[in-house]
């Protein structure tokens, strides 16, 4: 609770959507105030697919829709920072592209994002800086653009090359 009071929200790995609650019930439970920056109306404007599916239960949503709902719940806390654990996990490439667009828009709203992400394209598309962890320790902190453009660095830290192509 203290973390939430400090303006930090989390989008957990696996989304943790309640299967029997509708999208609208999830939104109402997470909503704080009609005077807040993020309201149910703004959520439905930002995520029109959720508006279309507002009466569907969590178990009836695709993985991408569940991820939108998990992000929506976090936004309704009106955070200054959102921590996202593997937001692109299990999503189709077209949905990953939509996720990247959403995350970029959030940074324009001055919401800080801390992504724990294995998808290099997602991580470097929405961040200014990346920290590479190896063996549970930070091995490097560098500009996202530098990592995305340098195949030698990608091989060195990630064991991949041409990861963004």
pLDDT tens for each residue of 15-42: 788 888 999 999 998 887 777 889 999 9
pLDDT at 108: 83
Sign, CA torsion 164/66/74/105: positive
Are 38 and 111 a contacting pair, CB within 8 Å?
no
Separation between Cα atoms, residue 144 and residue 142, nearest integer Å: 6
Can you tell me the mean pLDDT for 90-112? 87
Average pLDDT, the chain: 87
Q: What percent of the chain has pLDDT over 90?
A: 42
Residue 60 CB partners (closer than 8 Å, separation 6+)? 53
CATH number of 2-127: 3.40.50.300
| DSSP 8-state assignment for residue 112 | E
Can you tell me the mean pLDDT for 90-96? 87
140-154 confidence digits (pLDDT tens): 899 999 998 988 888
Separation between Cα atoms, residue 57 and residue 98, nearest integer Å: 22
pLDDT at 1: 61
State the residue for tokens 């299990």. Answer: 90
pLDDT at 165: 46
Give the total residue count for the chain.
Answer: 165
Above 90 in pLDDT, residue 90? Answer: no
pLDDT at 4: 65
Q: Taking the CB of residue 83, how many other CB atoms lie within 10 A of it?
A: 17
Can you tell me the mean pLDDT for 86-115? 88
pLDDT at 74: 93
Q: Spell out the domain ranges in the chain.
A: 2-127, 128-165
Residue 16 CB partners (closer than 8 Å, separation 6+)? 70
């Amino acid at each position: 609770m203290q973390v939430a009071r400090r303006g930090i929200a989390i989008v957990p790995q696996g989304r943790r959507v309640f299967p029997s609650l509708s999208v609208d019930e999830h939104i109402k439970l997470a909503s704080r105030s009609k005077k807040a920056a993020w309201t149910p109306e703004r959520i439905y404007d930002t995520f029109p697919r959720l508006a279309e599916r507002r009466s569907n239960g969590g178990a009836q949503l695709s993985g991408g829709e569940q991820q939108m709902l998990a992000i929506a719940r976090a936004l309704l806390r009106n955070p200054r920072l959102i921590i996202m654990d593997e937001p692109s996990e299990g999503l189709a490439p077209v949905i990953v592209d939509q996720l990247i667009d959403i995350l970029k828009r959030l940074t324009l709203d001055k919401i800080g994002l801390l992504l724990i992400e294995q998808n290099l394209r997602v991580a470097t598309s929405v961040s200014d800086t990346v920290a590479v962890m190896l063996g549970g320790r930070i091995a490097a902190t560098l500009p996202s653009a530098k990592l995305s453009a340098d195949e030698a660095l990608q091989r060195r830290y990630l064991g991949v090359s041409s990861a963004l192509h």
